[in-house]
């Protein structure tokens, strides 16, 4: 299928998530590919996707992708585990543009575990999806997976409540079954959760490894740019653009606080 974009090597990369979680992926891309411009859309008005119906998630993805294509992006990163698992196959059939998705890193965790047990922190929809069930079946073998739906964590992160007492209490509650099961690797199965790595690490200790796929996704983006021969020709660090569907001072501050690279400004994204 021919690509909708013109493969203009200096075109931006599109990236989106249900909120600010995908900024963790954007930061990893910026670190690896600092000259690549990005257009980031945070659909914070509808966060988290992990508690929405698959039809609504698909509709939101289509609305955002239509916008990104109108901005002449050369590649789109679906920086949301729920959106990737529930609808990236449908998106690839609807749009003639290259996509990079994200999914929980259970494969590397299962390959590395010494205790035979891993934990997975994710949203309810991610854990309920048939695609996630297929991932478990494909890679688990004789290993055990302790799955934990982490209701409320996305909202805490969207509000920058990283060290809030309620956030720490939630983490302790969600991590306790994994630790009791002797899990030695914990998969951060939502892009938001990477922002809580420090807090999670303090609870689980150094003997437990956190699996965050942000750097692997950035490498995958680099590989797609190589395959398509669309690396930017720009020699200076890029200025990216940030959009949010919940455009208020708090959300603007959150986006700009978490973003590591250069950006021009944060703008409103029409939610309709």
Residue 17, token pair as written in the block: 């998530």
What is the percent of the chain where pLDDT is above 70?
97
Domains within the chain, CATH numbers bracketed: 13-102+215-268 (3.40.50.1860), 106-212 (3.40.50.1860)
Contact call for residues 181 and 204 (beta carbons, < 8 A)? no
Instruction: For residue range 25-74, list pLDDT tens digits in order.
Output: 999 999 999 999 999 999 999 989 988 999 999 999 999 999 999 999 99
Q: Is 42 in a helix, a strand, or coil? A: strand
What is the percent of the chain where pLDDT is above 90?
89
pLDDT of residue 106: 97
Q: Is 18 in a helix, a strand, or coil? A: coil
pLDDT of residue 5: 46
pLDDT of residue 167: 98
Radius of gyration of the chain (CA): 18
pLDDT of residue 7: 63
Q: CB within 8 A of 170, min separation 6: which ones?
A: 150, 152, 153, 156
The whole-angstrom separation of Cα 75 and Cα 156 is: 30
Instruction: For residue range 76-128, list pLDDT tens digits in order.
Output: 999 999 999 999 999 999 999 999 999 999 999 999 999 999 999 999 999 99
pLDDT of residue 247: 84
Q: Which residues are catalytic?
A: 80, 190
Report which of 170, 89, 182 is spatially closest to residue 144, judged by C-alpha positions. 182
Residue 229, token pair as written in the block: 């021969």
Residue 269 has pLDDT above 90, yes or no: no
Instruction: For residue range 52-65, list pLDDT tens digits in order.
Output: 999 999 999 999 99
Residue 2 has pLDDT above 90, yes or no: no
pLDDT of residue 272: 62
Q: CB within 8 A of 256, min separation 6: which ones?
A: 242, 263, 266
| Phi and psi angles of residue 195, each rounded to the nearest 5 degrees, phi first | -70, -10
Instruction: For residue range 226-262, list pLDDT tens digits in order.
Output: 999 999 999 999 999 999 999 888 888 999 999 998 9
pLDDT of residue 3: 44
Q: Is 67 in a helix, a strand, or coil? A: helix
Contact call for residues 224 and 75 (beta carbons, < 8 A)? yes
Contact call for residues 68 and 98 (beta carbons, < 8 A)? no
- Burial-class residue 255 by CB neighbours within 10 Å (0-12, 13-18, 19+): buried
Instruction: For residue range 172-188, list pLDDT tens digits in order.
Output: 999 999 999 999 999 99
What beta strand segments (E) does 134-249 contain? Answer: 144-149, 185-188, 209-211, 239-244
pTM: 0.93
């Amino acid at each position: 299928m021919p690509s909708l974009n013109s493969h203009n090597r200096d075109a931006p990369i599109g990236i989106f998530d249900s909120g600010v979680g995908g900024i963790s992926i954007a930061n990893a891309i910026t670190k690896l590919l600092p000259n690549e411009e990005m257009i980031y859309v945070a659909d914070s008005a509808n966060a988290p996707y992990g508690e929405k119906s698959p039809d609504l998630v698909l509709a939101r993805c289509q609305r955002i992708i239509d916008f990104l294509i109108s901005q002449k992006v050369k590649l789109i990163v679906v920086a949301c585990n729920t959106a990737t698992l529930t609808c990236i196959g449908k998106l690839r059939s609807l749009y003639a543009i290259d996509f990079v998705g994200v999914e929980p890193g259970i494969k590397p965790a299962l390959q590395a575990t010494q205790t035979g047990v891993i934990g997975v922190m994710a949203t309810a929809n991610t854990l309920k999806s048939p695609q996630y069930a297929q991932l478990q079946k494909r890679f688990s073998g004789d290993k055990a997976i302790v799955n934990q739906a982490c209701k409320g964590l996305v909202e805490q992160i969207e509000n920058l409540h990283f060290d809030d007492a309620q956030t720490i209490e939630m983490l302790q509650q969600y991590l306790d079954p994994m630790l009791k099961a002797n899990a030695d690797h914990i998969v951060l199965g939502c892009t938001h959760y990477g922002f809580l790595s420090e807090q999670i690490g303090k609870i689980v200790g150094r003997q437990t490894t956190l699996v965050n796929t942000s750097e692997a996704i950035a490498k995958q983006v680099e590989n797609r740019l190589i395959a398509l021969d669309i690396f930017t020709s720009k020699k200076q660090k890029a200025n990216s653009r940030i959009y949010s569907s919940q455009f208020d001072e708090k959300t603007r501050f959150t986006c700009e606080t978490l973003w590591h690279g250069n950006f021009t400004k944060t703008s409103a994204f029409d939610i309709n």
